[in-house]
Each structure stands twice: as structure tokens, then as C-alpha cells.
Amino acid sequence: MPELILIGVASADRENEYTPFRQPHVKKTDHIYGGNGALYAAFLAKQLKPFIDRSYPTDGSRENTGIIGKSFGGLISMYTACLHPETFGKIGSLSGSFWFQGITEYMRSQSFENANLRIYMDVGSTEGTDRENLQKEMIPRTKEAFRILIENGVSPEDLKFVIDEGGAHRLERFTKRFPEAVKWLFAGS
């Protein structure tokens, strides 16, 4: 493993910043997911990353720059990779919210044939099983997103998909899987 600089970005409004499209909330009937993901992705690629590269001794190459998140953070990581393929070459999606309406259709329209692109995805085997809304599609939609990546050009050697047996959509499960995801993404960098 190379030395890494990890930057954590705190969001004041994940449901607004981390969603790619506006749509009705799955739990709160008086709320809307804001769909400002493109603005957030642009902030990461065009403002934050250049600032980090200017301020710290980084290898700013795309091949050595990654983005990783959990839940909506995993969703926005994949969406950001689509919008800014010139910036991010390593993508991590821990229990990404691929149940979010429209994301798999959007992914189908993308080409993932970028050189040196590595993607790690995972999902817990019990995620969504206790839901009656769109979130009940967590496991099948994550599997669908994985298939789309293969169909759209990601090399099987550069794509890892893990099902966490017994895993629920919980912080302790994400925390457990995070180190292995980072190791796999950056091994050999």
C-alpha cells in the first residue's frame, strides 16, 4: 500500500447534495431529494481536489485519486465518477444507494472504458429486507449496477463486488469493510 491522504467531507445536507436527481423522498411525503449531486461533484473535482493538490504533497494523477462513500455517499461517488472521469480513477461504493430512482438507467448511458479505472462495490445481504419502499430494492439494484459496469466496459479485473453476509445498512458494517475496500482500490498504486 502506498501512503494515502484521506480527506473527509462533511455534508450538512446529504439528501440534497448526494442525490443526482430531484425526486420525492421515500419516507417523508413532504420532502424532496434535492438532486444537487452535479454541483457537489463539481465542487469535489474542480475546487477541493485542486486545493488539496496545491496544499499537500500529492500524486494528483487520476490513477492515484479516489472517491469513496457509504450509502448516499456511495451513490454520489459513482455519480461523480461518471461526471468527472478525468479526475477520479478509483471509486468506492460501500452499500451505495442504487435503489435511488433513475441511477441505474443513468449508468447504462455511461461508458466506463477508462484506462486505470478501479471500482469497489459492496452491499450487506440483509439490506433493504426490512423496507416496503424503494429501499427494498437495495440488493437487486446494487447487483444490477455491478452488471451495468461490466456491460459498459469495466474490466472484471478492475471491479470488485462483495456481499457482506449478514450485513445490514449500519455504520459498524461500513467501518468493518472500509479498510479492505481502500486496500483493494490502491494496492499496486
Q: Please report whether residue 7 resides in a domain.
A: no
Q: Please report whether residue 96 resides in a domain.
A: yes
What is the Cα–Cα distance from 189 to 185, expressed in whole angstroms?
Answer: 9
CATH number at residue 71: 3.40.50.1820
Given the C-alpha cell 492515484, which residue does it identify? 64
Q: At residue 163, does pLDDT exceed 90?
A: yes
Q: Please report whether residue 11 resides in a domain.
A: no
Residue type, 54: R
Task: Please tell me the pTM assigned to this model.
Answer: 0.95
The confidence band for 143, taking pLDDT boundaries of 50, 70 and 90, is very high
Q: Please report whether residue 84 resides in a domain.
A: yes
Tell me the pLDDT tens digit for each residue of 90-116: 999 999 999 999 999 999 998 877 777
Q: Please report whether residue 90 resides in a domain.
A: yes
The mean of the pLDDT values for the chain is 95
pLDDT > 70: percent of the chain: 99
**Residue ranges making up the domain that contains 75:** 62-186
What is the Cα–Cα distance from 6 to 114, expressed in whole angstroms?
Answer: 23
Q: Please report whether residue 24 resides in a domain.
A: no
pLDDT score recorded for residue 10: 92
pLDDT score recorded for residue 172: 96
Q: Please report whether residue 37 resides in a domain.
A: no
Residue type, 150: I
Q: Please report whether residue 125 resides in a domain.
A: yes
Report how many domains make up the chain.
Answer: 1
Q: At residue 160, does pLDDT exceed 80?
A: yes
Q: At residue 2, does pLDDT exceed 90?
A: no
